[in-house]
Amino acid sequence: MIRGNRQSALVLFSGGQDSTVCLYWALQHFVHVEAVCFKYGQRHEIEVEIAQRIAQKANVPLRIIHAEMISRLSDNALTNPLTIMDREQTTDEPPNTFVPGRNLLFLSIAAIVAREKHIFDLVTGVSQTDFSGYPDCRESFIKSLNTTLNLAMDEEFVIHTPLMWKNKKDVWQLANELGIFDLVKNETITCYNGIPAAGCGECPACLLRNNGLIQFEEERKILNKKDIIQ
């Protein structure tokens, strides 16, 4: 027997492109949606402010969780402002923007928070298609952790990953379908250097986001031309 409320979901939310799309995806699929955002010593804490702003606009309760210990457990470019970020993805190991254990800890903490609210559906924006070399964005990890959480708490959590097999062009397409294209384009933050919207245009996160946007807009122009011809 499934315990808890299957009409509610808890979204792991950062104010970025992917998590914002997931937030609105959850609003379409669940009656009640809440969100959690983590302060983990990231070099651009402006994302927390943006997350609060978007959550308020979406009328979604947002809880800020302090997890600064993560920044003290490893040396990486997202928590150490003195570390120069890798501009290209390496082939033999994750880039130095990888924060070891981040998704493991975030999802585990989110599950504890959700359980206290009798919520057993978690939503996260990880993607294996555009995973940037991060091992904790792969489907195999999510499935494994889902099993572990259920065993650890004797519950029946379901971790939803709406973007798992979508590239950034597909994410823009989904944002458009959800009616939040302008919101995602103008108000979210993806940039590793903490610049909202189009960002710095040079870091790996900006390149993925902006290249996906170009591909989506080019495809949309082609489809619009076909519609006019027909």
Query: What average pLDDT does the segment 187-211 reach?
Result: 93
**The pLDDT value given to residue 1:** 33
* Predicted confidence (pLDDT) per residue in 143-195, tens digit: 999 999 999 999 999 999 999 999 999 999 999 999 999 999 999 999 988 99
Is residue 216 classed exposed, middle or buried when 0-12, 13-18 and 19+ CB atoms within 10 A define those classes? buried
204-229 and 168-177 helices cross at what angle (nearest 10)?
60
CA distances from 50 to 133, 194, 230 (A): 26, 11, 42
For residues 37-58, average pLDDT: 94
Q: Is the pLDDT of residue 97 over 70?
A: yes
Q: Does the pLDDT at position 82 exceed 80?
A: no
Say if residue 91's pLDDT is above 70: no
Q: What is the per-residue pLDDT for 155?
A: 96
What is the percent of the chain where pLDDT is above 90?
73
* Confidence check: pLDDT of 89 > 60: no
Q: What pLDDT does residue 2 have?
A: 41
pTM listed for this prediction: 0.92
pLDDT of residue 216: 97
pLDDT 10s digits, 102-150: 999 999 999 999 999 999 999 999 999 976 789 999 999 999 999 999 9
> How confident is the model at residue 221, as a pLDDT?
86
Extract the tokens encoding 214.
């170009």
User: What are 150's two structure tokens?
Assistant: 């259920």
Q: How many CA atoms lie within 13 A of 82 on its CB side?
A: 1
Q: How confident is the model at residue 44 (pLDDT cuts 50, 70, 90)?
A: confident
pLDDT for residue 95 is more than 70: yes
